């Protein structure tokens, strides 16, 4: 049962510019829905929120092609695309997913073989960002969604929108075109940046793969494939 006093306090806090977990709140308030009580023991913090997963006419063919690792968890990628789009916009969501399918294959619990990586973006264990990611707690849960998947997705959203920790972003290395980490972040969040620019900025500035520009170039191509899967212009009703 939803505690509406708690909801109203949360809404008031957000309207006043408050933060959650020391980070900016994601846009989840519109998901609160009054529903018949099925179980008196249902937790107050649970939000009934099912994001419809729409499908492109090219989806099955592209997902099964050799462009993507066969181990990619597409159920998770589908959900992430909708969730990230709802909070950051379509181009930004697609650019993030191009790194997620390469780094963690859409598995929030994936561990790097012989290395320190963990999760959706293979967060490097022992670093400050990894510690903050592991300590981050969701303020609500979405029914039917893996809590670890939701938690890491929320952390990505908040750490890309906010600039509270300078080490979250870097200049991307030689040849990136960014003078500072903030330059990369601003290019990523700029609504006028195209999909290719956002993908490059996120890969080099936020994810920072060892392969650098080579990895960023590959992810740019993957972002175009993801666009063919999720872009509404490819939905059957729009053809």
Q: Per-residue pLDDT averaged across 140-163, rounded?
A: 94
Mean pLDDT (the chain, rounded): 83
pLDDT at 195 over 80: yes
Instruction: With a cut of 50, say whether residue 98 has pLDDT above it.
Output: yes
Q: What is the pLDDT of residue 30?
A: 43
Least confident stretch, 55-64, 119-128, 191-200:
55-64
How are beta strands 123-124 and 141-142 bridged, if at all?
A: unpaired
Q: Which two tokens stand for residue 32?
A: 């609160």
Domain boundaries along the sequence of the chain: 57-238
Lowest model confidence (mean pLDDT) among 35-44, 129-138, 181-190? 35-44
What percent of the chain shows pLDDT beyond 70?
A: 77
With b meaning 16 or more CB within 10 Å and e meaning fewer, what string describes 26-64? bebeeebeeeeeeeeeeeeeebebeeeebebebbeebbe
Statement: residue 26 has pLDDT above 90: no
Beta bridge partners of 124: 117
Q: Give the residue with greater pLDDT, 156 vs 39.
A: 156
The pair of three-digit structure tokens given for residue 113, joined into one six-digit string: 């073989």
Cα–Cα–Cα angle for 205, 187, 78, nearest 5°?
75
Q: Are 109 and 178 in contact (CB under 8 A)?
A: no
Q: Taking residues 84-105, report their average pLDDT.
A: 97
Task: Give the pLDDT mean for 27-55.
Answer: 42
From CA 181, how far away is CA 206, in angstroms rounded?
A: 8
Nearest Cα neighbor of 83 from 9, 144, 168 is 144
pLDDT of 239: 56
Confidence of residue 170 (pLDDT cuts 50, 70, 90): very high
User: What pLDDT, on the 0 to 100 scale, is given for residue 21?
Assistant: 52
| CATH-assigned architecture of domain 57-238 | Orthogonal Bundle (1.10)
pTM of the entire structure? 0.77
């Amino acid at each position: 049962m939803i505690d509406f006093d708690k909801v109203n306090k949360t809404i008031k806090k957000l309207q006043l510019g408050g933060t959650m977990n020391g980070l900016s709140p994601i846009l989840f308030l519109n998901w609160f829905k009054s529903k018949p009580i099925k179980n008196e023991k249902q937790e107050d913090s649970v939000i009934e929120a099912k994001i419809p997963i729409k499908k492109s006419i090219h989806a099955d063919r592209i997902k099964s092609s050799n462009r993507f690792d066969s181990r990619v968890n597409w159920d998770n990628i589908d959900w992430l695309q909708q969730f990230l789009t709802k909070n950051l916009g379509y181009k930004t969501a697609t650019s993030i997913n191009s790194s997620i399918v390469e780094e963690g294959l859409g598995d929030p619990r994936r561990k790097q073989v012989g290395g320190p990586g963990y999760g959706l973006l293979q967060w490097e264990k022992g670093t400050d960002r990894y510690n903050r990611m592991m300590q981050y707690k969701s303020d609500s849960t979405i029914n039917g969604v893996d809590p670890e998947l939701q938690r890491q997705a929320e952390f990505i959203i908040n750490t890309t929108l906010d600039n509270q920790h300078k080490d979250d972003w870097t200049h991307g290395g030689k040849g990136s075109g960014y003078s500072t980490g903030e330059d990369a972040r601003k290019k990523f969040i700029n609504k006028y940046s195209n999909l290719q620019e956002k993908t490059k900025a996120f890969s080099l500035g936020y994810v920072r793969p060892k392969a650098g520009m080579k990895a960023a170039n590959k992810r740019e191509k993957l972002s175009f494939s993801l666009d063919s899967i999720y872009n509404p212009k490819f939905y059957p009703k729009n053809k």
